Amino acid sequence: MRTLSVKKLAETVTKLREEKGYTKEELGNLTGINRIMIGRIEREDFMPSIVQLEELGKVLEFDIIEMFTDREKTNSFVALRSEALNEAEEEGVDKLFKMMISLRQQIMLRRKFENESINNA
C-alpha cells in the first residue's frame, strides 16, 4: 500500500521553497495555499489535498508520486497508537481510548447494577 509521506513532503517543500528563494507567503500566492498552511506542511502538521499537492509539485517542480512511500498493512490499533502524525493527533487518540475505556466501565457497572436489582427483587 502506498501512502503520502508527510515527512518527505515537508522536507521537499522546505528544501525547494528555500532553493527557489520563495517566502511562505510567496509560495502561498503561487499555489493558492495559505502561507499558514505552507508552514504547517513544512512542520508535518497538515496534509494537503490532492489539488494542493499538485499545485505544490507544479510550482516547486517535483513529481508528487515521489512523495508516496510503500507501507505494509498494520494493525489499526498499532497504527493509531504509534504512527500519529503530530502531538495533537496523539492527544486525540489518547482521549478517544480513554473515552472508550470509560464507556466500557460504565456499561459493566450498569450491567452489574441491573443484575443486582434483578437478584434482589
pLDDT digits (tens, 9 = 90+) for 96-120: 777 888 888 888 888 877 777 777 7
pLDDT of 105: 82
Whole-model pTM: value is: 0.58
pLDDT of 62: 95
pLDDT of 84: 45
pLDDT tens digits, 53-105: 999 999 999 999 999 888 655 544 444 444 545 677 777 767 777 788 888 88
pLDDT of 121: 63
Question: Helix 24-31 crosses helix 35-42 at what angle (to 10 degrees)?
Answer: 110
